[in-house]
Amino acid sequence: MSLFFLPSTRLRLPNLSIASGQSYLSSIANLSNMGRGGNFRKGRGGGRGGKRSRDDNRGGHQPYTRYPEVVKQNDRLERYYNDLLQLPEEEREQFWAALKRELPNSFRFCGSKGHALAVKNLLQTRYIPEITRITYDGAIVEPPKPVPWYPDGLAWWMTTPKNVVRKFPPFSAFQKFLVSETSVGNISRQEVVSMIPPLLMDLRPGMTVLDMCAAPGSKAAQLLEMIHRGEEARIRHVIKQFGGSVDEIKSADEDAARLEADPSDDGRATGMLIANDADYKRSHMLIHQLKRLSSPNMIVTNHDATMYPSLRIPNPEDPTKPNYLKFDRILADVPCSGDGTLRKNVNLWKDWAPAAALGLHLTQVRILVRALQMLKPGGRMVYSTCSMNPVENESVVAAAIERCGGPDKIEIVNCADQLPLLQRKPGMRKWQIMDKSGRVWNSWQEVEDHAKSTEDGITPSRLVESMFPRPEGNICADLPLERCMRVYAHQQDTGGFFITVLHKKAEFKAKPEEIRPKEKKQAPKRPLEEAESTEEAKKQKTEADEAAKTEDVVIEEAPVEPVEEVKAEEVAPVEETPATEEPAVKEEAAETPAETPAETPKEAPKEGEAQPERKQKQQGPYEEPFKYLPADHEVIKNIADFYKISSRFPSDRYMIRNATGEPAKAIYYTSALVRDILVMNEGRGVKFIHGGVKMYVKQDAPSAEVCRWRIQSEGMPILHGYVGPERVVVLKKKETLKKLLIEMFPKIANGEWQKLDEIGERVRDLALGCCVLRVEPDGDDPEFNEHMALPLWKSFQSLNLMLPKEDRSAMLLRIYNDTTPLINMGIKRDAPKEGAEAKKEGEEEVKAEEIETPVEVKTEEAPAAAEEQVKDAEGDVSMKEEPTA
């Protein structure tokens, strides 16, 4: 029996079967077309036939319209932040000058550390030397450079002017590199400051982490990489202890594997990421981003973060009692007004208004309180925004800590010693609030005094007490808010950002949310309306008090299952929104880039543990259920027998997405914890959108002896080490792989297998169907050292490396620096024939080959509208980080 192999240079191969490559190809090709604020400018040449005249107005439609450039000036914005920040005059000028400059382009190398370093080395050795030879106006052009504070130099940025990028061919090759590596998930376009929050979470293998507002997914991808950190080395350690052979692996003692990190499950990662977003379409954008990492340890959900449901998990101590998941780490990168993104969202210069931040304050507090409730005692969470306004930052942190019991329960972590090269400012202890009219208030007492001096006694619109610094005597009056981090544009040529790290010291019962005072905009009520309003206010207060009384974070006393007859309409009516600020947020939709999804039902905010069992109205299109297959299912046994899969690979984690419970098109694989959560929360109103990795896809087979389930490329990195030698082809030479990449359907019949050099005889003797092509470089070429496993299909006449065309092209460029067009051998071999008969014969043969030798099928889970949004978001970096920084 052969050795138990796994990739030696990376944890996960990129998702080579992802159908989203084209959206990335369209999004970052031509950095030279990047307009202000990250928006791509339309080409000026019109359609075919070249450049049209500006006088050409066919059909009454002007082919090209020049829009006036946004004036980067806003008196209220500048007055507020000048008074608030109190920067020295020289620094103040630098601050505003930086905000008026365009943001540098930035990107991050993804995947496991070993593979990311390999791709980074390719940038440094192949492309940067060419760029540094360029001179412009007598000076050497500045090439891309690493971000100084990012670990291992895996984040890069470039400030090269667009006219230089357009003019010089070396940049064209660099752009092709960015496009191809992004399409297969090796590079992520991400703003530099948005990379900070995951780095401060101290996320370690084996931990469970929740990203509450995750779309579009750049930070969630960072978290997922951290969950799998070291997995590759752990599995190699297990292999070594078991001696490496399949027979030894089957009979080895389970206690032989004693690993320092994440020791269970034979070294496989046991941690988990739940990535959530309140908007259904953006949740599919999230799937699009995270599927590239091919992780079985991920779930995507679609919930309002202010009322995220409790998730039931097994209770080993007493299976009869419910047990609810508490997270080790939580990231709340909340929706915000986004004025830290002025450099890429230039419309904010004319649209900025203080009401945008005021309308989001209470929603942000609710999200943070809910996150702290779901955090384990001893756990850590990060709260962040891309806003510079303290009403969304320090005031939210103080209000949430106050509601959660004060500094005895929640501590602000001092992160001054982390990321030492990152320049930052401390958080504010005192600040002012600007209302909708532009008036600035220093304290809540000042607001109350003003209200008393008016005839109606009404406070200025949208102002609430929690927005202001805490007065003396309050339990949060001495909070060390200076431990919060503020990053300004002029410090390191970035956008503006705010980050706070919180540590949960003990469980707590959250205080009820304060009732918002009457606002000036309300019209005087008639006596009858006033009486009704008073009764409603009393009712709301009673409900809030009851919620506070019944709240209990003790796991054993979590809410019980609901009665089945209760309907969603009866349990969660949309009208029940006491003390909610959502209408205020919607009212300011034109003034803020922050998203308040209109599709999310607005339920009454409950303090403490959310009521997960209550059924909610279905949002978005119907999602197929998650059904797990028994380990002894006939299909699973057939697959294991055909591929000779080791018994050490778990057979009880296979899942399908249909209500029948029988495999139809695809079979997925998940980690054990993901399985437990999906199974135990079925029918409880939890909106799961995605989970697991597609492992097998059903395929027409040429005979009954051939397994009808082929291994999908995204599942190959997980499975291939457990596949028996009978279904493995080992490739060592660089040129052999190149031939398989360039030639589609290379023939192997009639002795043509000899053209495949080292693998020819092995392929000739191999039984029909899917197998593993294991690439193990022989070491002769230092540039060819990438170990990988790819799906290969053998039919009667030919072979097929089952990768999409764009992924083949990406590998050719990365490994060989080759842009040779792909050759479809199924069509080329019929070229000498002539006439209709030859054409018909060729078509039939190609059709037969495609049935016997399937091309990697791209499948899309997102609806068409969501896919369009994905393309837009990934083509515009500003959308990728707005409004969740």
Residues forming the active site: 386
The DSSP-derived string for 89-153 is HHHHHHHHHHHHSPPPEEEEE-SSHHHHHHHHHHIIIIIHHHHTT-EETTEEPPPPEE-TTSGGG
Is 605 part of any known ligand binding site? no
Query: Distance between CA 382 and CA 373 in Å, rounded?
Result: 14
Residue 20 burial by Cβ neighbours in a 10 Å radius (0-12, 13-18, 19+): buried
Q: Does the annotation list 304 as a binding residue?
A: yes
Residue 407 region by backbone torsions, left for phi larger than 0, else alpha for psi between -120 and 50, else beta: alpha
Is 333 annotated in a binding site? The answer is yes
DSSP H helical segments within 481-616, as ranges? 489-492, 527-550, 568-571, 582-587
C-alpha 18/C-alpha 182 separation (Å) is 11
Query: Token digits for 497?
Result: 């950002």
Residue 540: half-sphere exposure toward Cβ, Cα within 13 Å: 20
User: Was 217 annotated as part of a binding site?
Assistant: yes
Beta bridge pairs of residue 585: none
Contacts 24+ apart (CB under 8 A), 523-526: 524/456
DSSP string, 436-461: TTS-EES-HHHHHHHHHHSSS-PBPT
Q: Which two tokens stand for residue 99?
A: 């905000």
In the block, tokens 């190149």 appear at 738
Whether the Cβ atoms of residue 386 and residue 496 lie closer than 8 Å to each other: yes
Smallest Cα–Cα separation from 700: which of 854, 832, 539, 806?
A: 854
Whole-Å CA distances, 53 to 44, 45, 56, 195: 10, 9, 5, 45
Angstrom distances, CA of residue 313 to CA of 297, 348, 677: 15, 44, 6
CB 445 within 8 A of CB 471: yes
Instruction: Determine the Cα–Cα distance for residues 617 and 576; give it in Å rounded to an integer.
Output: 14
Q: Give the separation between CA 141 and CA 135, rounded to whole angstroms.
A: 6
Question: What does the block give as tokens for 17?
Answer: 């079967």
The verdict on whether residue 221 carries a ligand-binding annotation is: no
Whether 831 contacts 821, CB under 8 Å: no
Residue 26 labelled as part of a binding site? no
277 is in an annotated binding site: yes
Give the chain's count of helices (H) and strands (E). 30, 31
Tally Cβ neighbours within 10 Å of residue 311.
Answer: 25
Alpha helices in 242-308 (DSSP H): 246-251, 280-290
639 Cβ contact list (under 8 Å, min separation 6): 645, 667, 696, 707, 709
State the SS3 of 47-91: CCCCCCCCCCCHHHCCCCCCCCCCCCCCHHHHHHHHHHHCCCHHH
Please choose, from the candidates 18, 87, 2, 56, the residue with its C-alpha nearest in 3D space to the C-alpha of residue 489.
87
Q: Is 652 annotated as a binding residue?
A: no
Q: Is 354 annotated as a binding residue?
A: no
**Which amino acid is it at 655?**
M
Q: Is 589 annotated as a binding residue?
A: no
Q: From CA 422, how far away is CA 145, in angstroms rounded? A: 16
Q: Which candidate, 31, 343, 391, places its Cα nearest to that of 191?
A: 343
The single-letter code of the amino acid at 677 is I
**Can you give the three-state secondary structure of 737-765, one letter per residue?**
HHHHHHEECCECCCCHHHHHHHHHHHHHH
| Contact assessment for residue 718 and residue 19, using Cβ atoms and an 8 Å cutoff | no
Question: How long, in residues, is the chain?
Answer: 885
Annotated binding site: 213-219, 277, 304, 333
Annotated binding site for S-adenosyl-L-methionine: 213-219, 277, 304, 333
